[in-house]
């Protein structure tokens, strides 16, 4: 189940807001320029489906958001708990950083935790199957896929080099809880 928790950035143990309601999550995130949507496949997706089959199942939503935001490339990434590189992959974006283009992810399966740091607040969003999150360029954040990552996600890009992480050097991400799947 999707979840949003909002904290003061100096109080990682006391959320000021908690919700599992998709409309409430979308409303709260819209206040900081973040898009949160829920999509449904227009056909069944089989386990182990090809990238093309996954994309075809969400074609109308993909076409809409690509046209709205000017994406030039999409791909599908899949990470399983038995991936031998899971610790390295997890550690890659656990520190606060930003990108020079929007970071847009749609969860086809599984889950992950996006944590955004905006105007003295920390927005912790657990994204699960059927969730799309669009984090505006320049928004400081971190991403945790958990100790045993398990997800399939569609990624959207405007430029081939736009998704490079620019790290802030702060320790804020270490002060907030790591992802424990609910």
Residue 169 covered by a domain: yes
Domain membership flag for residue 4: no
- What DSSP character marks residue 136? P
Strand partners, 35: 134
pTM: 0.95
Identify the pLDDT of residue 181: 83
Range of the domain at 77: 36-112+126-175
The span from the CA of 129 to the CA of 112, in Å, is 10
Query: Can you give the pLDDT of all 182 residues of the chain as single tens digits?
Result: 999 999 999 999 999 999 999 999 999 999 999 999 999 999 988 878 899 999 999 999 999 999 999 999 999 999 999 999 999 999 999 999 999 999 999 999 999 999 999 999 999 999 999 999 999 999 999 999 999 999 999 999 988 665 788 999 999 999 999 998 86
Residue 145 lies in a domain: yes
In a domain, 119, yes or no: no
Residues 16 and 7: beta-carbon distance below 8 Å: yes
Question: How far apart, in Å, are the Cα atoms of 4 and each of 31, 111, 137?
Answer: 13, 13, 20
Q: What residue has token string 């740091």?
A: 117
Q: Provide the domain count of the chain.
A: 1
| Distance of alpha carbon 89 from alpha carbon 33, whole angstroms | 27
């Amino acid at each position: 189940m999707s979840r949003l928790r909002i904290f003061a950035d100096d109080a990682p143990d006391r959320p000021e807001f908690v919700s599992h309601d998709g409309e409430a999550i979308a409303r709260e995130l819209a206040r900081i320029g973040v898009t949160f949507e829920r999509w449904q496949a227009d056909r069944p997706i089989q386990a182990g489906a090809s990238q093309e089959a996954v994309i075809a199942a969400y074609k109308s939503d993909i076409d809409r958001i690509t046209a709205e935001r000017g994406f030039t490339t999409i791909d599908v990434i899949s990470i399983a708990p038995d991936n031998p590189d899971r610790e390295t992959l997890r550690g890659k974006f656990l520190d606060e950083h930003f990108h020079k283009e929007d970071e847009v992810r749609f969860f086809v399966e599984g889950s992950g935790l996006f944590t955004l740091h905006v105007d003295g607040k920390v927005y912790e969003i657990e994204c699960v199957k059927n969730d799309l999150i669009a984090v505006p360029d320049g928004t400081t954040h971190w991403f945790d896929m958990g100790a045993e990552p398990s997800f399939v996600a569609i990624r959207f890009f405007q430029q081939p080099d736009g998704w490079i992480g620019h790290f802030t050097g702060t320790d804020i991400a270490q002060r907030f809880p790591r992802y424990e799947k609910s």
